[in-house]
Structure 1
Amino acid sequence: MARSSDLSLALMTLLPCLLLCTSASVELDCDNYVREACGVTRYPDLCIHTLSSFSSSAKRSPSLWARAGVSVTTGAAKSLAQYLAKLENTGAMRGRSNLAALSDCVECFQDAVDNLHRSLGVLRQLHGPSFYSQMDDVTTWLSAALTDEDTCLDGFEGQRGRQVKVLRDKVTNVSCITSNALALVHKLATTGPQTLAS
């Protein structure tokens, strides 16, 4: 009886330690997965920050990381497109050149969001026989989205003011996230269709 009680006490003492170790091990694995995936990107710290929540599901799957990258980019671009439209609709931006640049920027981001949606749709339906043509399409659309974002920034070249700086910072952030997604898509394209099952 005393032996059973000692065993129970030992298990109750060890169980929290085992759970803590297992939890820490899983967290370390997840951290390694996102660091490994983001190693191919131009902005790895931003990549880790924006994609770390996908670690436990994407693990070492290039197709899941590419999809996660484009999904996060789509959300960020949509959010910024709404912000830009609100700026335009409320007339909060002053100056004729700023208003013209803002109007162009709204149009650019609508186009970027469309390209990102197309890319995400294809990434969700990748299959072996048409893998490379699908990857060409996704790469083209992501590159176009990045160009749209850069074009938006070009309109504010030389402009000053707090709102312009905030807008530039927001657009630059989305451009960096898009660049990271494009790098993850390139990684998928180079690994080939055999990685789709993983």
Structure 2
Amino acid sequence: MLALSNFNKVEAMNVSFLPSFLPSLIPSLRSPPYPIMTGIRVSVVFLLLTCLTWRAVAWSNKEGDDYVKEACNVTHYQDLCIHSLSPFSNSAKRDPQKWARAAVSVTVGEAKMVTQYLTNQKKDRFLRGNKERLMALSDCIECFQDSLDNLHKSLGELRSLNSSTFDGQMENVETWMSAALTGEDTCLDGFNGCKGKEVKYLCNEVLNVTYLTSNALALVDKLASVGAVAFTGP
């Protein structure tokens, strides 16, 4: 009874949304219900719809992959670029403004986490009694805080672009992004080649942000080179 009840619900559905070729593949859902055959028909419908949905999703994902790969061609660390920006593929598509803003936004988020990580390291035992490392870490934190400030200013400017002031705004963003990258590079200067297990981990965290910043700067430069014609509004 439950199976027949469920089938009756299916039978009452409007099936006009099905692709035009389905009626030729399966008998009418409105024919007299025979328990075994109707179950087969319903199964066939669901299988076909599942296949169609899977193909649509696969095509959409491939298209998204193409967009992010194309956008990341201008970056120095393309694998990282693709990994970090792939969630934006279907929304950014071929819009250089959206790609630049997405890249800076991702970098801001990562820089925040690393700044907090560096601050927490002041309490770590590997710094106790090592004034040189402690001083290097304090300098690194200061560099990252300045870098984060420049990243925030860059993101704010990208979010408020105006076609009439586009060139001047992009010059500001490029200046701030370059300063952010310089600050992150300077952070590592006091760690003497990042020797030691704990210091190597710290350096890797910092380096990851420098790579993201470098990629973001490349996408900002791409937007600036295209000019105001790429402006699509806030």
Query: One fold, TM greater than 0.5?
Result: yes
Paired residues of 1:70 and 1:119 also in contact (CA < 8 A): yes
The equivalent of 1:197 in structure 2 is: 232
Distance 1:39 1:59 in 2: 14
Query: Are 2:40 and 1:5 aligned?
Result: no
The equivalent of 1:87 in structure 2 is: 121
Could you tell me the TM-score, scaled by structure 2's length? 0.79
The equivalent of 1:25 in structure 2 is: 59
Q: Give structure 1 regions of 4+ aligned residues with deviation exceeding 6 angstroms.
A: none
The equivalent of 1:44 in structure 2 is: 78
Distance 1:78 1:111 in 2: 11
For structure 2, the 5+ residue unaligned runs are: 1-25, 32-40
Secondary structure of the structure 1 residue equivalent to 2:29:
helix
Residue 174 of structure 1: how far off its partner (Å): 0.6
How is 1:16-165 mapped onto 2 (pairs within 5 angstroms)? 16-90=50-124, 92-94=126-128, 95-158=130-193, 160-165=195-200
When the two chains are superposed, the root-mean-square deviation of aligned CA atoms in Å is 2.0
Distance 1:117 1:91 in 2: 32
Question: Using a 3 Å threshold, how does the CA distance of structure 1 residues 160 and 3 change in structure 2: closer, same or farther?
Answer: closer
Identity, % of aligned pairs? 53
Please identify the structure whose Cα radius of gyration is greater.
2
Distance 1:159 1:171 in 2: 11
Distance 2:210 2:121 in 1: 19
Distance 2:219 2:62 in 1: 21
Paired residues of 2:194 and 2:203 also in contact (CA < 8 A): no
Paired residues of 1:93 and 1:163 also in contact (CA < 8 A): no
Aligned residues: 197
Residue 17 of structure 1: how far off its partner (Å): 1.7
Could you tell me the TM-score, scaled by structure 1's length? 0.93
Residue 157 of structure 1: how far off its partner (Å): 2.3
Paired residues of 1:47 and 1:177 also in contact (CA < 8 A): yes
Paired residues of 1:98 and 1:159 also in contact (CA < 8 A): no
How is 1:169-184 mapped onto 2 (pairs within 5 angstroms)? 169-184=204-219
Distance 2:95 2:70 in 1: 11
Secondary structure of the structure 2 residue equivalent to 1:127:
coil
Question: Using a 3 Å threshold, how does the CA distance of structure 1 residues 17 and 102 change in structure 2: closer, same or farther?
Answer: same
Compare the two structures and name the one with the higher helix fraction: 1
Paired residues of 2:85 and 2:103 also in contact (CA < 8 A): yes
Give, as a single letter, the amino acid of the residue that structure 2 aligns with 1:87: Q
Higher relative contact order (CA 8 A, sep 6+): 1
Q: Deviations over 1:84-114 (max 9, x none)?
A: 1111245642422111110100100000000
Distance 1:41 1:157 in 2: 28
Distance 1:192 1:116 in 2: 21
Residue 158 of structure 1: how far off its partner (Å): 3.7
